[in-house]
Amino acid sequence: MTDLVKNTSVAKYFNNSLIIPERSEKIQILVDALRLASLDNEIKSYTLFIPDDCERYGFSEGYHDLSVLLHFLADMLEE
Which H or E run includes 41? helix 41-44
Walk along the chain (79 residues) and give the pLDDT tens digit of each residue: 444 444 444 445 455 555 555 668 888 999 999 999 999 999 999 999 999 888 888 888 999 999 999 999 999 888 7
How far is CA 30 from each of CA 63, 67, 72, rounded to the nearest angstrom? 24, 15, 13
Q: How far is CA 42 from the centre of its chain?
A: 22
With CA atoms as reference, report the closest residue to 72 among 53, 55, 54, 59: 59
Kindly report the pTM of this predicted structure: 0.64
Q: Where are the domains of the chain?
A: 22-78
